[in-house]
Structure 1
Amino acid sequence: MADMEDYKELFVVESRESNETIAQALLTLEECNDRETIDEIFRSAHTIKGASASMGYMNLEKLCHTMEDVFDLIRNGKVVASAPLIDVFLGCTDEIEALLDSIEGGGDDQGENIEDLVTALDTWKENGNRADASSTEDGEAQRDPAESEAPVDGNARGSGERYRVTVTLVPECSMKDVRAMIALSNLGEIGSIISAKPGVEAIEDGNFEDHFEVIFESEAGAEAIQAAISGTDIVSVTVESADAPPAPEKKKEAKQQKSEHHGKTKEIKNIRVDIHLLDQMMNLVEDLVINRGRLKQIAQKNQIKEFDEALSMVGRSVADLQNLMMHIRMIPLSHIFNRLPRVVRDVAQHEGKEVDFIIDGGETELDRSVMDGLNDPLLHLIRNAVDHGIELPEERRAAGKPEKGCLHLTAMRDRDNVVIRIEDDGAGIDVERVRSKAVSKGLMTQEEAAALSEDQVNDLLFSPGFSTAETITDISGRGVGLDVVKAAIESMKGSINVRSTRGEGTCFELVLPPTMAIVEVMMVRINGRRCAIPISNVVEVAILKKDAVHRVGSSQVILLRDEVLPIHLLGDMFGGSNHGEVLVVLQYGSKKCGIVADVVEGQQEVVVKPLSTLIGSCPGVGGVTIPGDGEVVPVLDVNTMI
């Protein structure tokens, strides 16, 4: 499986979106407490929690899990989403943002405030609506919390000793409100808060410099009070008798209180773009490529120096824009591969088989247009490998194999193409069974079937409606066979081959172009008419020697470097008899052939457009292109020709 590091960027982007959703919904919740908003926050926290756990960020998972627990209580009416609780949640979103920044920068999810936030949320889980009771006294509504002492508990027990508790936090503490709220909550557990300076509401909102004072009544004693408050971000806790005169207040310069998270500007590194906009951009880039060719022809005709220099600069810019656009459209194959383990599991369970599924090369990229057409063929081949290829455990045991079969999916770049292999260690293809099936379906006679080589028999698997399944099941035997897969792959200008060894396994190999839009072609003339050949299919260009051409049956072949190649004159496609003197050698997979041309005009990048549905399909033509002079030129489909 691909390394988890490959998914980190996607994890950060999606988690940041979910975190922003939580922050916005919290502000909405403060104005209007509705079920839909609560559910939205719950879902977003759940999303971050699940993604964090799968990526191994357990601190982030712990924080989101605790948030989820409290919001579950809010959703069930056991806790009210009051202002102090929303403050804690907003502190959580700040901490999540900081953790995501750390992860994005190559760090981990170790945060200074996680434990404090989890403790604060646990207090709400345990105490429910009583957790903020101290901040909702009616008598405080009209008073300035920053300037006066605020009675907190009107029904103080009247027993125990009164203390003046002064708490000083570190000056750079970024979450004073949460830390202060924890301190007040801990005090409330061992006694009664009589008053606070500034008021409790102001303290819980963080509206103080770096210290606050509480008049407190308790039977626990000074040491217990000090131990209850001490913790992270607290510099000192002073506990003295309330009867003693207050300590002189330190004169400090007023300092702007600014949250570390809210004060910094956030650079937007990722945006989501509608795929249709990318398609429109691609069309515009294709038009630029076509018109660049037109301008080159004009420059060659007029020989204007300044025009040549400007065109050279424009040409480089268009080439860079084209490469950038192609890169933007590239998508890792992991987007398809990640769905397949579930398919393997389901089919294996249905068939009573055990399969070890291995994926390599998920980071290999393909153009979106190629990727869209690859999903169904790949799904069919994977199901086929588990259903037809890998045997039942008892059959494998009898054959001396491990009971658990192995299915290996691999992707890699090979020169200008992407190669995908689906290999299994199953029974392999039963050649004799395929021959008999071909005869029974009337595809050929017994004698013709017997004369076929093993490779030719394997090619029969791609015949329309061909299937070796004896019974129709949910998995196979419905006549939708490998012919559909082959047609889909060839429509993407790719190829599919199969290799098999009886008793050892089968390998299907897909060869696909990374993109179908802009390709490099060789321009040739055949019988005076121009056509384009994809450069990836051209092996070499040679002078055609008439004495090396021989006739075998109704076909012509040529002996070229001890290799016999069939020759196509393409008279049916381009009219007339072909008397060209140039041999263009083409290759598709492991097969080669030659075509006869009048002249080779050179190489250039062109935009290949599919044939119009009004024209229909034309054997041997994969599409058309329009070079700079405006002529419509057919692009040969070498796959079909060979």
Structure 2
Amino acid sequence: MDMNQYLEIFIDESKEHLQTINEQLLELEKNPNDLSIVNEIFRSAHTLKGMSATMGFEDLANLTHQMENVLDGIRNHKIQVIPELLDVVFAAVDDLEAMVNSIAEGGDGKRDVREVVQQLKQIEQGELPTTQTKQETAPAASVLTQTYGEFEYNILQESKEQGFNAYEIRVKLRADCLLKAARVFMVFEVLNEAGEVIKSNPSVELLEEEQFDQEFLVTLVTKEPGEQLQQRISKVSEVEEVVVAPIDMEQLKIAQEQAEQAAVLQEEVAATIVAEKEEQKEESKEKEATHKNATTNKTIRVNIERLDILMNLFEELVIDRGRLEQISRELNHPELHETVERMSRISSDLQNIILNMRMVPVETVFNRFPRMVRQLARDLGKKINLEIIGAETELDRTVIDEIGDPLVHLLRNAIDHGIEMPEVRRAKGKPEEGTVKLKAYHSGNHVFIEIEDDGAGINREKVLQKAINKGIISKQNAANLTDKQVYELIFASGFSTADKISDISGRGVGLDVVKSTIESLGGSVTIDSEEGIGSTFSIQLPLTLSIISVMLVEIQNEKYAIPLSSIIETAIIRKEDILHAHHQKVIDFRGKVVPLLFLKDVFEIPSVKEEEDFFSIVIVRKGEKMAGLVVDSFIGQQEVVLKSLGNYLTSVFAISGATILGDGQVALIVDCNALIK
């Protein structure tokens, strides 16, 4: 019987149990004598072990079983909870997560976990675990972590007979690697030069689309020695670890036979599961009959692809709604007008329901940070308390998917550059333990995420000097900058105030990647800091990216849409109100000098109308900066569906997408962030 029907449930529930284990281990470190926490971890581990064994993922079940033995020793007072012990348990959980992710990506969930198993056994026997650094790790012995089809197995056999070596190669990229697909390409170049790739896990297509975490597994036949392969791959930038394991063909033959036996066993297990589920259904029917009058909150799991399809269909409905509204206005028929108004109200309610269905708590992103902060603090020898506030705040899934990496970078920055060493904090009269607050909250149609630390703050002079040395700003302009403007400089490309480059804070890449990612989501990021007191990075994000409110404007005979989230206000000015400063046309807007951008010149729109004595201006902002966009006329406010321009038009300047209007015309959506320098 096909086990795939249970696979999705297994993956979801496994991830939930692993998240519980992670959270409770952090609590256990704070309260090492609290046995209720140990029992909670044990329950999740035990359930995960049973599920894994039932589904046939033996490596996963065996590692969980070994971890269970250690937990049992803790709750029976045979093993004492110390940070070194928890380091090993956390490493085991990382391996379990990697196995589950492998299964989710279509892999077999196999992994070389001999080292962590050995450490867990040492703990179980009352010994402190011994570890090897990655540089000292000897080439791995033969261990099979991939399964092979008959065709692949025959190729390996024939290659061996012709004098080729067969290796399984596990490559792990750095956690902060920004261009994973590029690194994979470079690794495959080395592999293809050395021999022939027989299999990769995940598949090459998934690797190219960056649909994997940090690790991937490749089977290679070559005449090159394993040590030489390991050295060549290790030279690829941002590769953290390479393990080259020779394949023993006798062991492979045994594994193939065992796989066939396991398939037969799996069918028997599946039949048992089906029988148990039928019994559970009957029991649940009886319970439902007994409690049919009770009120309960019922939930179902819905595949996100179905929600995406629903959202796409509704987007088409929004376009048709706009068309109907325009027809109704043109015909001016009372009954039609009334019907269209009613349909608009209903579709607006439907829109809110669909958008809410796609909303996900930021907790799904925040959950991984306590572990990360704990490890970074131990690596740096710092004491750090992470406070998470507002984890229940919800964002659209499309936004959630993108904000993880920028938040990781900002947290690493706060821990590495912000929080001082314990002895330095003590000398300043601060508590030895630094505090990093991660806060999320709603405000209007936006979500704000703040990362606040009580560290050293930003040194104004150091930032200015670095900016001058990098040629980002001149000495003359530096003296006139406000503190806010100085802080903005650290977002410049290639800027870094690190005294030494470290793996933790991003190897001197700077924060420009964070800023560009946030702005690509239609958001903004600002900094507030006080030297010696601390810093706060504030990120503003839209609730959703698919349906946005815009101001429609006309430029010559073309229509453009400007997102309302970027607009401060609109105005009409006279020709004589335009001034000139630094070879730039500007206006005096409420006491501030605001530069003007003529959109017909920016987008090279052919002139078909004569220039008038009055100009329509849309005042837009990007953080603290403002600009006035000059258009011919305002059409009005409207909700539109944001459509991508596709792969062939990715580099169009200052255009973030397009929308279809009620009359069937296409209006381009202006990217205000790209226009304001």
TM-score with structure 2 setting the length: 0.56
2:436 pairs with 1:402: no
Q: CA deviation digits over 1:147-194, x for unaligned, max 9?
A: xxxxxxxxxxxxxxxxxxxxxxxxxxxxxxxxxxxxxxxxxxxxxxxx
Provide the C-alpha distance between the structure 2 equivalents of 1:44 and 1:569, rounded to a whole number of angstroms: 52
- Of 395, 399, 403 in structure 2, the residue corresponding to residue 366 of structure 1 is 395
The CA deviation at 1:350 is 0.7
Matches of 2:284 and 2:653 in 1, distance apart? Answer: 71
Question: 2:404 aligns to what SS in structure 1?
Answer: helix
Q: Give yes or no for the alignment of 1:573 onto 2:599.
A: no
Check 1:327–1:57 CA distance in 2 against 1; reply closer, same or farther (3 A cut).
farther
Question: Is the 1:529–1:574 contact (alpha carbons within 8 Å) kept by the matching residues of 2?
Answer: no
- Quick one: distance in 1 between partners of 2:387 and 2:581? 47
**Given residue 310 of structure 1, which amino acid in structure 2 is its aligned partner?**
T
Residue matched to 1:631: 665
Q: Counterpart in 1 of 2:461?
A: 432
1:264 corresponds to which residue? 290
SS of structure 1 residue aligned to 2:648 = coil
How far is 1:440 from its partner?
3.8
Of 550, 553, 556, 1:524 maps to 553
**Structure 1 residue 66: deviation in Å?**
14
Partner of 2:627: 593
> Which residue is equivalent to 1:611?
645
Cα displacement string for residues 129-152 of structure 1 (whole angstroms, at most 9, x for unaligned residues): xxxxxxxxxxxxxxxxxxxxxxxx
Partner of 2:379: 350
> Could you tell me how far 1:636 is from its partner in structure 2?
1.4
Contact 1:500/1:506 (8 A) holds in 2: yes
What residue identity is the alignment partner of 1:594? G
Q: 1:529 to 1:436 in 2, by over 3 A?
A: same
In 2, Cα distance between the equivalents of 1:638 and 1:68? 53
Trace 1:403-422 onto structure 2 (pairs within 5 A): 403-422=432-451
Q: In structure 1, give the amino acid aligned to 2:634.
A: V
Query: Structure 1: how far apart are the matches of 2:585 and 2:451?
Result: 37
Task: Please name the residue that 2:362 is paired with.
Answer: 333
Structure 1 distance, partners of 2:430, 2:510, is 28
Is the Cα contact below 8 Å between 2:385 and 2:436 reproduced in 1? yes
Provide the C-alpha distance between the structure 2 equivalents of 1:589 and 1:44, rounded to a whole number of angstroms.
38
From the superposition, tell whether residues 599 and 65 of structure 1 become closer, same or farther in structure 2 (CA, over 3 Å): closer
> 1:476 & 1:423 partners in 2: Cα distance?
16
Q: Post-superposition shift, 1:498? A: 1.3
Distance in 1 separating the partners of 2:429 and 2:16: 51
**Match of 1:501, as an amino acid?**
E
CA distance in 2 between partners of 1:258 and 1:395 (Å)? 61
Aligned amino acid, residue 595 of structure 1: L
* Pairing 1:454–2:483 present: yes
Cα distance 1:606–1:531, how it changes in 2: closer, same or farther (>3 A)? Answer: same
Determine if contact 1:468/1:477 at 8 Å carries over to the other structure.
no
Amino acid at match of 2:603: M
Aligned residues: 420
SS in 1 for 2:494: coil
The offset of 1:565, in angstroms, is 2.3
Report the AA paired with residue 336 of structure 1: V
Distance 1:601 1:278, change over 3 A: same
- 1:6 equivalent in structure 2: none
Taking the aligned partners of 1:569 and 1:545, their CA distance within structure 2 comes to 15
- Aligned residue identity for 1:414: S
Give the conservation status (yes or no) of the 8 Å contact 2:548–2:640: yes
- 2:538 is the alignment partner of 1:504: no
Paired with 1:353 and 1:299, the residues of 2 have a C-alpha distance of 66
The Cα shift of 1:418 comes to 0.9
1:366 is paired with a residue of what secondary structure?
A: strand
User: C-alpha distance in 1, partners of 2:595/2:19?
Assistant: 61
Contact preservation (8 Å) 1:45, 1:65: no
In 1: Cα distance, 2:587 partner to 2:558 partner: 24
Which range is displaced more, 466-475 or 497-506?
Answer: 466-475
1:323 aligns to 2:352 (yes or no): yes
Shift of 1:262: 7.5
Q: Structure 1 residues 524, 477: CA separation in 2 closer, same or farther (over 3 Å shift)?
A: closer
In the aligned structure 2, how far is the partner of 1:47 from the partner of 1:375? 19
Alignment CA distance shift 1:591-1:578 (3 Å): farther
Question: Deviation per CA, 1:47-97, whole angstroms, max 9, x where unpaired?
Answer: 9997999999989x79x969979x99xx9xxxxxxxxxxxxxxxxxxxxxx
CA shift for structure 1 position 444: 4.8
Task: Write the letter of the residue equivalent to 1:282.
Answer: M
Note closer, same or farther for the CA distance 1:404–1:552 as it changes in structure 2 (3 Å cut): same
More off after superposition, 579-588 vs 358-367: 579-588
Q: CA separation of 1:368/1:52 partners in 2, compared to 1, >3 Å: closer, same or farther?
A: closer
8 Å CA contact 1:533, 1:635 repeated in 2: yes
| 2:527–2:535 CA contact under 8 A, matched in 1 | yes
- 1:79-129 CA distance string (max 9 Å, x none): xxxxxxxxxxxxxxxxxxxxxxxxxxxxxxxxxxxxxxxxxxxxxxxxxxx
Q: What are structure 1's unaligned runs of at least 5 residues?
A: 1-20, 26-38, 76-256
CA contact (8 A) 2:391 2:440 kept: yes
Between the aligned partners of 2:493 and 2:617, the Cα distance in structure 1 is 34
Q: Residue 284 of structure 1: SS of its match in structure 2?
A: helix
Shift of 1:471: 2.8
Structure 1 partner of 2:315? 286
Instruction: Indicate conservation of the 8 Å contact 1:569/1:578, yes or no.
Output: no
Which residue identity lines up with residue 662 of structure 2 in the other structure? G
What letter matches 2:290 in structure 1? K
> Which residue number in structure 1 is paired with residue 333 of structure 2?
304
**Residue 492 (1) aligns with residue 492 (2):** no
How far is 1:543 from its partner? 2.3
Match of 2:498, as an amino acid? Answer: A
1:640: which partner in 2?
A: 674
Amino acid paired to 1:538: I
Corresponding residue for 2:90? none
Cα shift at 1:453: 4.2
In structure 2, the CA distance between the partners of 1:595 and 1:446, relative to structure 1 (3 Å rule), is closer
Instruction: Tell whether the 8 Å contact from 2:498 to 2:508 is kept in structure 1 after alignment.
Output: no
Deviation at residue 551 of structure 1 after TM alignment: 1.2
TM-aligned CA distance change 1:347 to 1:594, over 3 Å: same
Q: Distance in 2 between matches of 1:383 and 1:588?
A: 25
- Partner SS state of residue 645, structure 2: coil
Q: 1:389 & 1:427 partners in 2: Cα distance?
A: 5
Q: TM-score, normalised by structure 1?
A: 0.59
Contact 2:409-2:506 at 8 Å conserved across structures: no
Q: One-letter code of the match for 2:571?
A: A
Structure 1 residues 556 and 295: CA distance shift in structure 2, 3 A = same
* Structure-2 change in CA distance of 1:65 and 1:327 (3 Å): closer
Inter-partner Cα distance in structure 1 for 2:498 and 2:445: 37
Q: What does 1:178-217 align with in structure 2 at a 5 Å threshold?
A: none
Structure 1 residues 539 and 552: CA distance shift in structure 2, 3 A: same
| 1:584 aligned partner | 618
Deviation string, structure 1 residues 413-472 (Cα, Å, up to 9, x no partner): 122211111111111112222233334444455555556543333222112222222333
Paired position in structure 1 for 2:169: none
Name the larger-Rg structure: 1
Percent of residue pairs bearing the same amino acid type: 42
Structure 1 vs Structure 2 CA RMSD: 3.9
Give ranges in structure 2 of 5+ residues lacking alignment. 28-33, 54-282
Moved more, 260-269 or 316-325: 260-269
Partner Cα distance (1:472, 1:320) in 2: 52
